[in-house]
Amino acid sequence: DQQVKQNSPSLSVQEGRISILNCDYTNSMFDYFLWYKKYPAEGPTFLISISSIKDKNEDGRFTVFLNKSAKHLSLHIVPSQPGDSAVYFCAASVGSSNTGKLIFGQGTTLQVKP
């Protein structure tokens, strides 16, 4: 049972344009969501997170939107840069305490073309 789903395995955008990565979840108990960036043979790197009490969180070029009623979140990267090319994972947890385990989506491979 895949509780966190990233239905697009890959995405290709032109440099300077907006990248939108989507993520859906099924467990209504999830209340904290995170996005990670991962290069091959490396551990994931934290990008941005959002609590369920918010619907938007912004950090520089990265913005995460949360639609609780639709159980959907998205990561917007604007403007996209070639260095953003990587695999992006969304993750969800129950509780934002530091013992909350993460459930990951399948990942979306983003390619930003120069």
Give the C-alpha separation, 26 to 100, whole Å.
17
Quick one: CA torsion of 54, 87, 76, 83, rounded to 10 degrees? 130
Beta bridge partners of 45: 37
Count of positions on this chain that bind other proteins (CB under 8 A): 26
Among 77, 86, 104, 110, binds other proteins (CB under 8 A): 104
Q: Does 101 bind other proteins (CB under 8 A)?
A: yes
Among 8, 22, 74, 96, binds other proteins (CB under 8 A): 96
Q: Does 3 bind other proteins (CB under 8 A)?
A: no
CB 111 within 8 A of CB 11: yes
Binders of other proteins in range 35-64 (CB under 8 A): 36, 41-46, 49, 51
Residues 6+ away with beta carbon under 8 Å from 30: 3, 4, 52, 92, 93, 94, 103
Q: Does 70 bind other proteins (CB under 8 A)?
A: no
Please give the residue ranges that form the binding site for other proteins (CB under 8 A): 32, 34, 36, 41-46, 49, 51, 89, 93, 95-107
